[in-house]
Structure 1
Amino acid sequence: MSRFNHRGIFLQKLGPTIVNPDEVLVSMQFALKEEDWDAENNVETTALLDSTILIASSHDGGRSFSLGNINKDIDGDGDIDADDKAKLLALAKAYVSIARP
Structure 2
Amino acid sequence: MFKVIAVYRVPTDDAAKAKFEDHYTNIHTPICLKIPGIKELRTNKIFGGPTGASNLHMIAEMCFENKDAWKAAMKTPEMMASGKDAMTFAGDQVSVHFAEELITNA
Structure (1 or 2) with the larger CA radius of gyration: 1
Tell me the TM-score normalized by structure 2. Answer: 0.29
Structure (1/2) with the larger helix percentage = 2
- Highest RCO, 1 vs 2 (Cα 8 Å, sep ≥ 6): 2
Tell me the TM-score normalized by structure 1. Answer: 0.30
